[in-house]
Amino acid sequence: MDLLAALAAQPGGGALLEVAHEGVYLVGGAVRDLLLEGIPRELDVVVEGDAQALAATLGTPVLHARFGTATVDLDGVRIDFASARREQYQEPGALPTVQPAGLAEDLQRRDFTVNAIAVALGGARRGELQAVDDALEDLRAGRLRVLHDDSFLDDPTRLLRLCRYAVRLGFEIEPHTAELARAALRAGALRTISGARIGAELRLALVEPNASGALTALGRLGVLGALNPRLRHDAPLLSDALKLLPSTDGRPDLLLLVGLVLTLVARTGDEAYAKASALLDWLEFPSSERDRTLVSVIAVPRLTRELPEVRSASALRELVASTPPEGVALAGALGDRDREGEVGERQESSRAALRWLQEVRHVRLSISGEELLAAGVPEGPEIGKRLEAALLLRLDGGLPAERDAELRAALGAKV
């Protein structure tokens, strides 16, 4: 295939080809994806020379002093520039020290053979491929292989990357590589890197197109177990829950995270809840995501028990209103599973979850606190209580959808 033509057809690709000179290469995932006739998510460029200067010819780069790298956003695509380098790991898991080098050495420092392919973008060898041993055969055969036996010990984040690529690309893990990965896990490789680095990789896994598949792969390889022996991904359950999650404001990544974290909490109560919270902090989830996840984690056991019993819309609101959509969806799926086999009760839970997510939570009063203030209700919590009482009446059909009726109900409510 004509790789340069394929690159030129990508956003940012044409401009990059125009400025590329001798010693400028496209590398890594972008070359892999173009050779597989896919669409690269971003472009990684290696320069034998000054990467930051090249980046500056395309726009205003964001510079990263420590590694001499630069990033430019062009036509909505991110282009990362790095000077060709060799890396040395002073100790397992530590960030490497880097030194300038040629392309061949730069390719040798990479994670998997299929990610260690480059194409020259400028100069006399423009269009030529350069790759480490086995790379092109592995790409054709759909195989993930590390470049050397210490790869996972040097950089244990590769254990998570391996699972992501295996699922996304549909590639098999070459047997010796699988053995090295298991040996690294047994040797405690994940304990040599920070929670932040593991968390960053886990967050990438959670937003993969087949994120549930990526978590299954992480479980099979033993990565989840190495993080916590009880951590498990229940793919069939999460598949059911994902079907209930609204596409508008539901977060599939957080739903999968709730499912994972719940495997720590379900059995041992409060102490495990503290552990779950500590795990999310260690993985450096942003506080808003951590809190949203934990609210669901706390709510799910009760919702799972009670959702199938709920009859009225007001009772549904009282049960689930403070739970994010992920928690409601998971409780719906779990409740169905708990009742599998019970005649007549199947799917009561998921039906109740859907009733809330698709219908009941969208019902609003046409009056607001302003009208109650104007009618003489003092400012403070009483306003909210009166509005809530009117809304519960509305939900159960005891109130027409009219302003006056709503106002009368709110003013007459016993609070």
Closest approach of Cβ 239 to ligand CTP, in Å? 23
CA 245/CA 380 separation, integer angstroms? 34
Segment near ligand CTP (CB under 6 A), from 3-11, 41-49, 386-394, 405-413?
41-49
- Tally: H helices and E strands in the chain: 22, 11
| Contacts of ligand CTP in 347-376 (CB under 6 A) | none
Tokens representing 42?
């971003």
* Helix H or strand E encompassing 272: helix 269-282
Torsion on CA atoms 48, 49, 52, 53, rounded to nearest 10: -120
Name the residue nearer to ligand CTP (CB basis): 187 or 295.
187
Per-residue binding string, ligand CTP, 326-345, x by CB under 6 A, is --------------------
Query: Quick one: 48 or 155, whose CB is closer to ligand CTP?
Result: 155
Closer to ligand CTP at the Cβ: 126 or 168?
Answer: 168
Q: Is 240 in the site for ligand CTP (CB under 6 A)?
A: no
Closest residue to bound ligand CTP by CB: 29
- Return d(Cα 190, Cα 307) in angstroms, integer: 39
Q: Is residue 41 a contact point for ligand CTP (CB under 6 A)?
A: yes
CB of 359 to ligand CTP, least distance (A): 38
Is residue 157 involved in binding ligand CTP (CB under 6 A)?
yes
Choose the stretch contacting ligand CTP; rule: CB under 6 A; options: 39-47, 177-185, 290-298, 369-377: 39-47
Query: Which amino acid does the sequence have at 168?
Result: R
Residue 84 beta carbon to ligand CTP: minimum distance, rounded to whole angstroms: 12
Structure tokens at 33: 């994806």
Phi, psi of 59 (to 5 degrees): 165, -160
Which residue among 12, 13, 23, 28 contacts ligand CTP (CB under 6 A)? 28
Interface with ligand CTP, residue 44, by CB under 6 A: yes
**CB-nearer residue toward ligand CTP: 161 or 394:** 161
Range in contact with ligand CTP (rule: CB under 6 A) among 110-118, 253-261, 313-321, 386-394 = 110-118
Runs of H (alpha helix) within 73-134: 103-108
Measured CA to CA, the distance from residue 176 to residue 161 in angstroms comes to: 17
Kindly state the smallest distance separating residue 40's Cβ from ligand CTP, in Å. Answer: 7
Q: Which stretch binds ligand CTP (CB under 6 A): 52-60, 155-163, 278-286, 309-317?
A: 155-163
Q: Which two tokens mark 236?
A: 């069939």
Burial class (CB in 10 A: 0-12, 13-18, 19+), 319: buried
Sign of the Cα pseudo-torsion (243, 247, 252, 255, in order): negative
Site for ligand CTP in 160-179 (CB under 6 A): 161
> Could you tell me which residues come within 8 angstroms of residue 169 by beta carbon, excluding any fewer than 6 positions away?
36, 114, 142, 144
Binds ligand CTP (CB under 6 A): choice among 111, 234, 240, 348: 111
Read out DSSP for 176-190? HHHHHHHHHHHTTGG
Spatial separation of the C-alpha atoms in residues 333 and 304, rounded to whole Å: 8
Instruction: Tell whether the torsion through CA atoms of 196, 198, 202 and 208 is positive or negative.
Output: positive
Identified binder of ligand CTP from the candidate list 143, 158, 233, 361, rule CB under 6 A: 158
Where are the alpha helices (H) located in 36-111, listed in sequence order? Answer: 51-56, 103-108
- Should residue 115 be labelled a site residue for ligand CTP when binding is judged by CB under 6 A? yes
Rule CB under 6 A: choose which of 4, 23, 35, 110 binds ligand CTP.
Answer: 110
The number of residues that bind ligand CTP (CB under 6 A) is 13
Interface with ligand CTP by CB under 6 A: which residues? Answer: 28-29, 41-42, 44, 110-111, 115-116, 155, 157-158, 161
